[in-house]
């Protein structure tokens, strides 16, 4: 785990540092654990208009998405792994051409 980062002396700054450290530790614990899905869950992974629907293949992907979105979805890893929860992400498909 990383060292504490010196923060301002206020509740929000201290809270945010504890959240960062906790998230970092949790993400390291789940990073290399792969997730298996049933066919019915995998069938939902399709392209819809300008979006692609995806499932996290492992804890590292889930942690990366959580970091990208700045949310706590990685905290649901054990529920996903136990097959009691499913989290899909909708990613915008970037379409462009080069001239």
> At residue 50, what are phi and psi to the nearest 5 degrees?
-95, 20
pLDDT 10s digits, 25-76: 888 999 999 999 999 999 999 999 999 999 999 999 999 998 888 888 999 9
Confidence at 97, pLDDT banded by 50, 70, 90: low
Q: Which of 12-16, 32-36, 81-85 has the lowest mean pLDDT?
A: 12-16
d(CA 42, CA 68): 23
Q: How much is the pTM?
A: 0.76
Q: How far is CA 77 from the centre of its chain?
A: 9
pLDDT at 44: 96
**Residue 24 CB contacts under 8 Å (≥ 6 apart), including other chains:** 1, 2
Assess contact for 74 and 63: CB atoms under 8 A.
Answer: yes
In a 3-state reduction of DSSP, which class is residue 51? strand
């Amino acid at each position: 785990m990383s060292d504490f980062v010196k923060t301002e002396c206020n509740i929000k700054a201290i809270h945010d540092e504890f959240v960062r450290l906790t998230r970092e530790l949790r993400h390291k614990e789940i990073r290399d654990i792969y997730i298996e899905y049933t066919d019915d869950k995998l069938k939902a992974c399709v392209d819809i208009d300008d979006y692609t629907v995806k499932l996290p293949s492992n804890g590292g992907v889930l942690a990366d998405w959580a970091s990208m979105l700045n949310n706590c979805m990685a905290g649901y890893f054990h529920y996903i792994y136990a097959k009691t929860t499913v989290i899909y992400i909708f990613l915008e498909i970037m379409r462009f051409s080069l001239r």
